[in-house]
Amino acid sequence: MDIKDNKGASTLSISEDVIASIATTAAKDIKGVAGFSNRVPDVKSALKGKNPLKSVRVLKNDTDIVITIYVSLEEGAKLTTVATEVQKAVKEAVQNMTGKVVSKVNVVISDVEFNSEKAEETEE
């Protein structure tokens, strides 16, 4: 992302990794998010030399940003509630910190983490 002043002399670039970091920081504070999962590798990212195993994918152009975040849910969390809250938090945090419009936040629920203590008690 490039931001230029009125004179066109200076430029500020914000990397996709920084945007991804802002997104994960905002999402981890949401109740029901247990953690983050690695996204499914795609050929396009591999060819561009990007790390296909990151938990956030950022697509940006001159006007907006599209973010896809892969999360793991806690046991008993409501999927739709958590996904909606993650979308709101990520969009607000990225827009406030970068000044760019986030047009879409996709939340992919890729895992549910079950409490192993409860599972052991059930087995006995």
Please say whether the beta carbons of 35 and 70 come within 8 A: no
Please say whether the beta carbons of 79 and 38 come within 8 A: no
Class assignment of domain 16-115? alpha beta
124 residues of the chain, pLDDT tens digit each: 555 545 566 677 788 999 999 999 999 999 999 999 886 655 555 555 555 558 999 998 878 899 999 999 999 999 999 999 999 999 999 999 998 999 999 999 988 998 865 555 555 5
Domain map (residue ranges) of the chain: 16-115
